[in-house]
Structure 1
Amino acid sequence: MFFFLIVPLFLALFYKPIAYLCGRFLNNKSKRENYFMKHISNFLRSKSWNVFLFLYLALPLFAQKEYKIDQVSVVNVGDGRLLFQELKTEKALNGEHRIIDGYHSAYVLASFKDGFYDGGYKEYVDNILITEGSYKEGRKDGLFKINSKFDGKLKEEKSYKEGKLDGTSKSYFTTGKVESERNFRMGKEHGKQLSYESDGTLRKEHNYKDGKQVGKQYTFLKGTYDLYETVYFNEEGFQDGEYSSVFTFGSPRILGSYKNGKKNGRWTTFAESGDTLMIETYLDGKEDGLHVSFANGSGVRQKEYYMKNDRKDGLYREYNLENGELRYEATYQAGRLHGKERRLIVSNRFDYWETSTYVNGRQNGPFEARYVKNDQLRECGEYKNGHRVGRWKRYTIDGKLEKEWDEN
């Protein structure tokens, strides 16, 4: 027993010279990357006390198996597997080994066959078991359990077959209740995907077939509004059919439809009060047709215009939110202003309408402004490429010339 007590004390006092000598010895060796005890001098400086306590104290006290210390190289063979070999002899590992990263407090206890993981596998961090499972010929096979590195509680369970997810995978809340559940078949999601709130309330229920979503998909969305979303997928994995998101009290938020993964037809958005907020029309995923928006609360029409291939095309109008009267109108062509534009200017004295002409998005041609009260001319002139040019005039509301000037 004296031997097991004096050796750690000796190492604690003289670890720096030992680290220096070991470092000099290893630094003259091959530069080949190794997984175990890389740069042993640094390892001894930072980990010597813990490591040697384990070797000389923990082993006799707990009768744990003693592992020979060797340097090991790791080779990625290119098919997702890792090949472990003794660094000096390039001999493949066999049997049970403990793999330690000298820079961290993590280690792996695993069985090997011909250099590949084969059999039981355990991974520890700060002596807490965080991963437990099994391998077959270097590939994950069977149930893997992943635990929290803080308290060791179960976080996830995943089933594998030939290195691919196969079967049911689960994640857990810290309380132990199921947080999510997914099903796989040879690496592809297949079956139900479920997720829950911490109180057990179902938050999501999706259906998969060979990695694609199919059939009805239900999701509970949390955000500005809590909503229940329902959408349907066809056998090819595209959204197809009716779409709805509904407030938790039952009234619709959005109603629409998909065709082969693209929005199609009329889509309507509603307020919590049930008032319509917006109407859109789609064709093959692009907005095409009438678009109308309404003010929340009053239901007054706010904007209306036409779209073609996701761009404004045709008449565009905006309305006063207080009284619903027209305050702006223009004509678009392929997303650009093209033709007449009328804009209501509200003034402290007299309101007036401005009328401009646009060609391919640029203001070109005659301009005039007329008083709302009596339709008398207020101002007139001409634009060229977005700039005022030529002679301009301004009049009072009773028709008298107020100002006349030239624009360069």
Structure 2
Amino acid sequence: MSRFLGEPNFNDATFDSTSISYNFEHKFSDEWKFRQGFSAIIVNGDTRQVELFDPLGDDRRTLPRSPLRTEEKQEDYVLQNEIFGEFSTGSIQHKILVGLELSRWGYDFNYFRGTLDPIDIFNPQYGAQATNFEQELHRKQRSDNLGVYLQDFIEISQNLKLLAGVRFDINDVSVVNKITNTTINQQTTTRFSPRVGIVYQPSSTTSLYFNWANSFNPQFFRVSRTGEQFPPTTGEQFEVGIKQDFFNNRLSATLALYQITQQNVLTADPVNSRFSIATGEQKSRGVELDIAGEILPGWKIIANYAYANGFVSRDNTIPEGDRIAGIPQHSASLWTTYELQKGNLQGLGFGLGLVYASEREAQLPNTFTLPSYVRVDAALSYRRDNFKVGLNFRNLFDTKYYNTDTFYIYPQAPLTVLGTVSVQF
């Protein structure tokens, strides 16, 4: 985890960002109101880094290196208009939401690649100079999206409620090669995304629920090895569950079963991991159990267990049945705190947490796994009136563990201590 194979004098990034936002609301009556929100974020950045994609040399210790210098600009604009209303049709109550959303995302990416001496991974010597930079790529990507949505929360009776909604999106994406000033790819996609949810409460402490939803996410950040734009990710989710309250609502438990199906999910290109490919279809099925509440005055608990079976269900490149990278089949967490309620030490609090994840696949196609781990967290705090100080200890025993996004494997933070001071007014 401590070995650095880049160049200390060629490893930096400079970014500056500007953001503007506003939120406007107007209330026509007690039942109807209008809201408009706008946000704009503009980020400019320059980076210098060394990429390590090539395999080791024949001596199994010499690693080729490739220096990369980038100039980047990203712009995000979102304008959202919504109308909220309440009305009744007979004995049935409605809470309706109508919205119109306009968004634009742009990304200008210009990078230059040079040459750099290789490095001995067992005896690294630094000081090599990156030279001979040439422009390798300059692309400008843009995504414009228009979304119109309608949602109605219907209270059929005191113990039966229904949520129904639909969203329609028109998305236009283009990729321009700025070196040749030609459009590499342009596509327009339209999509209806409905959703339905039902909650039935046979008693004041028990809720049964079901929901079905569709999703639509344009993929405008990455392009394929051949410069093509990827189609949007689409998904469908089913979930059924029960929520039960115990001990006069001091403790609650939720048990849920779900299935998520997604098409066109990106993963690393097995031919060249600098690029992506879109998997045909992925499925995730699982069970989740959550428990939260206050067992005794001052003693709180949050516990979770999840079983997840995520796999590639259809594809022409990746073997069907391969497990989705980064998703443990079994995971669990426990966080409990206790705060003294009386005496000279009233307000002194303690916290202890455990996080477990079973082994996970590191990439698609599956070739190796990341090991399971157990992480321990802890906390100390002291509260007096409206004043509170605390110390949080993450990864108390300095456990070594790793996560993946299928493109890279990231070592996670060692023991980390965070101090906080807060005052409530």
Q: Scaled by the length of structure 1, what TM-score is found?
A: 0.32
Larger relative contact order, structure 1 or 2 (CA cutoff 8 Å, min sep 6) = 2
Say which one has the larger Rg: 1
Q: Scaled by the length of structure 2, what TM-score is found?
A: 0.31
User: When you count strand as a share of all residues, which structure comes out higher?
Assistant: 2
